[in-house]
Amino acid sequence: MFRQRFRVLGIVVVAGFLAAPFATAQTILHVNDDAIGANDGSSWTNAFVDADGEDDVVGTDLAGNARIMDGDDDGTTTVDMGAYEFFFDCNENELPDACDLDCTALDGACSLPGCGASTDCNTNDMPDECDIADETSEDCNENITPDECEPGGLEDCNENGVPDLCDIHLETSGDCNGNAIPDDCDVDPSDPDGDGEVSRDYDGNGTPDECECFASWPPEPDRLDLPGNPISRKIRYVSFSVNDAARFRAVRVTFQDLQSMYAHWNGVQLYVQQPEVYCENAGTSQQIPCPDDAGGLPQTWFWGATVGCDPWWDDWTQYDVVHVYHEGINHSGVYDIQVIDAGCSPAEEGDYSTPLTQTTSPWADSISNCTTFPCGPADGITGIVDITAILDKWKNLPGNLQKVRADIEGSPAGDYFVPDQAINITDVSDCLSAFLGYSYAPGWLGLPPPPPSCP
């Protein structure tokens, strides 16, 4: 690897003396070679490297390389004897190693084609490819970068005696999510790789859940705690719970068949976003703990969420019932709610669960009666009982209607089309208008906004 050819045209060197020139012969000498010519047995030693002693020799050698280099690496730059200057060339590309690393090395003599093309990640003044070829550095993943220079270096998170990057390349450990961390370290709760993230492994098979597509059960509807457990239909919310195994999943809502004012939303698909806490008696503020009702009875809170373009991956079993609101969720509409596992592809329709189909109540129809608690399910008729129930909720009277059943409009001071998780005079007056036979109140505001343009 460190051989450098010396060519002496027309001259034979014998036992240290110059012999008669040959007319056509080319004698090739190598450092450490024992022969001078094809049939000459005379000896040649390294003594000729940096041995000329003529300091006035300048320019380049016969190959165009800088004429004076420190060929024996002793710190003294002296011209070599012969027609060619010796230099270390570990990768045999006919460039000095110093030039492989830096075109400005050797006082500018390295400004040659191909200079500066090698790297020296471990700063040992040796091209990385030579470190690897000489086995002074390992390159287990064969990317011509010494292992000690790779991200993570020689870390061994699973302590199996093999660096992590070699584990993955040699397939002694998997890396299903492509994060350059062995799967068994990804799922270890102690986070041995130290990246601050731990993947879930619900079935305990050592593979991160995000790499395995599991079929999901359909979500469950919100039911009233009444005889027969009827479904709790709302006017401006759709509600669901996920009771499947506690894996990370996303929930999608498809706007299937909406009333005429919202017909331009038909077919839109959006994902439920991260749920937030809303108090029953605190207006829009999300106070924890939530305040009591007007009768002094402790009140509760609920999970509310809107929808957006991107999936929100979460363990949805922790939220119990989630109530979803949005400007596109309105009365007399049909919505499909589906679940997809984090290991599945959102682009594959077959990976989604069977849908839970939710139909919202007719305009301002909240209940059938309120002689019990909770109030009875919507009955398809807007009557005095609906007005009274929403008015009682506005007053926060004891045993009042659940907020998501009474909240039918936004705030006149805000976005009128989006429920605001507060019961105000607008909700009461809209219910009264519906009772008097008027059509959906926002009609005078024009059509609702168009659905979002998702990538």
Mean pLDDT of all residues in 117-139: 90
Mean pLDDT of all residues in 335-351: 95
Cβ atoms of 120 and 110 within 8 Å: the answer is no
Q: Assess if residue 390 is contained within a domain.
A: yes
Task: Looking at the structure, tell me whether residues 355 and 388 fall in a common domain.
Answer: no
For the cut 80, the answer to whether the pLDDT of residue 235 exceeds it is yes
Q: What's the mean pLDDT when you consider all of the chain?
A: 80
Q: Assess if residue 243 is contained within a domain.
A: yes
For the cut 50, the answer to whether the pLDDT of residue 443 exceeds it is no
Q: Assess if residue 311 is contained within a domain.
A: yes
User: β-pairing, 321-325 with 301-305?
Assistant: parallel
Task: Looking at the structure, tell me whether residues 242 and 346 fall in a common domain.
Answer: yes
Q: Assess if residue 262 is contained within a domain.
A: yes
62-79 per-position pLDDT tens digit: 766 666 666 555 666 666
Closest residue by Cα to residue 170 from 139, 125, 137, 200 = 139
Higher pLDDT, 329 or 201: 329
Domain boundary among 344, 359, 374: 359
User: For residue 450, what pLDDT is reported?
Assistant: 86
DSSP-derived letter for residue 12 is -
Domain that includes residue 403, residue range:
384-444
The confidence band for 311, taking pLDDT boundaries of 50, 70 and 90, is very high
Task: Looking at the structure, tell me whether residues 245 and 340 fall in a common domain.
Answer: yes
Q: Assess if residue 6 is contained within a domain.
A: no
Q: Assess if residue 418 is contained within a domain.
A: yes
User: For residue 141, what pLDDT is reported?
Assistant: 80
What DSSP string describes 192-260?
TT-SS-----TT-SSS-GGGS----PPPBPPB-SSTT--B---SSEEEEE--S-S--EEEEEEEEE--G
Closest residue by Cα to residue 270 from 256, 253, 285 = 253
Angstrom distance (rounded) from CA 93 to CA 114:
9
Task: Looking at the structure, tell me whether residues 193 and 296 fall in a common domain.
Answer: no
Cβ atoms of 159 and 193 within 8 Å: the answer is no
Q: Assess if residue 190 is contained within a domain.
A: yes
Higher pLDDT, 251 or 109: 251
Highest mean pLDDT, choosing among 5-19, 174-188, 379-393: 379-393
Domain boundary among 359, 393, 412: 359
The residue whose two tokens read 């790297």 is 119
User: For residue 31, what pLDDT is reported?
Assistant: 42
Q: At what angle do helices 384-395 and 425-435 cross, to 10 degrees?
A: 170
Count structural domains, the chain. Answer: 3
Mean pLDDT of all residues in 5-19: 38
157-209 per-position pLDDT tens digit: 888 888 888 888 888 888 888 888 889 888 888 888 777 888 888 778 888 88
Q: Assess if residue 23 is contained within a domain.
A: no
For the cut 60, the answer to whether the pLDDT of residue 37 exceeds it is no
For the cut 70, the answer to whether the pLDDT of residue 18 exceeds it is no
